[in-house]
A = this chain, B = another copy of it.
């Protein structure tokens, strides 16, 4: 029984943001160790052209490997319909397409305006449906954009509706740029829920300004049940300048478990996974407070049975 799904996005969002390529064997150890710690969903990579992101070139092999782990939901990012076909061929359980709410960011990031992206979403959704694959749309830059600044909340609602018509089965609100504040999280979740209902399940938050976990609390208040996070806070968005810093999986799990919410994740085991990244990417900056401080003395009393 799980109350909250912690979806690990480090192998995708973390690794695509750093220059070095993590060896395939290290990625496999990372994924296997996190699954063994109780993580139920991992975004293992992205079906983007290897020329653009060589860090993600082994995504199909990772999907094959991760599918061998019992109970693990294996998802990948797909930037477009072409990527969706590759993901379907690889046999993913779920795929997620980012749809940037800032048209400037969308054009800069994937060279497509909103209308063109909606066509991609429709085509990708068709491919996913054909193969019985779960299909999610990530409403990225939903809380603001480093190029445009504020993003209209009404526009987010309208584009979510359009994406639902195009075949989205699930939505996340993505704070690509680390702009979200807790009041905005509550407001925007309410508004988007008003349009697409419980299809909005997920928050993808960054910790750029240290507000990541504060925004999680706001999301919990609004009934959000899935949170993306990256082990060690690895990564961010390479196309949003200055917007580094994913939510740290270790701190998120400490918080949720301490609150008595069931994540199914063993914190002690999770903390050990960090050494795999440290060994494979020596010197890479990792974040988080829990790895240094450790759990509270009464941690086990706080967690749900």
B182 touches A259 (CB 8 A): yes
In the complex the two chains form, what is the Cα distance from A146 to B178 in whole Å? 33
Specify which chain B residues have a CB less than 8 angstroms from the CB of A210 in the assembled complex.
213, 248, 251, 288-290
Asked if A108 is at the interface of the complex by the 8 Å CB criterion, the answer is no
B298 touches A183 (CB 8 A): no
In the complex, chain A residues 285-300 whose Cβ is within 8 Å of any chain B Cβ: 288-290, 293-294, 296-298
A183 touches B290 (CB 8 A): no
Copies held by the complex: 2
Nearest first, the 10 A-B pairs at minimum CB distance are A210-B289, A150-B298, A183-B259, A181-B258, A213-B214, A149-B297, A149-B298, A217-B217, A210-B251, A179-B296
B298 touches A260 (CB 8 A): no
25 examples of A-B residue contacts, CB within 8 angstroms: A144-B298, A145-B297, A148-B297, A149-B296, A149-B297, A150-B298, A150-B301, A177-B296, A179-B297, A182-B220, A182-B259, A183-B259, A183-B260, A184-B258, A209-B293, A209-B296, A210-B289, A210-B290, A211-B213, A211-B251, A211-B289, A214-B214, A214-B217, A214-B255, A221-B221
A298 touches B179 (CB 8 A): yes
Specify which chain B residues have a CB less than 8 angstroms from the CB of A150 in the assembled complex.
297-298, 301
B216 touches A290 (CB 8 A): no
Excluding A184-B302, A209-B254, A214-B216, 7 further A-B contacts by CB distance (< 8 Å) are: A144-B297, A149-B297, A177-B296, A207-B289, A209-B251, A210-B290, A211-B255
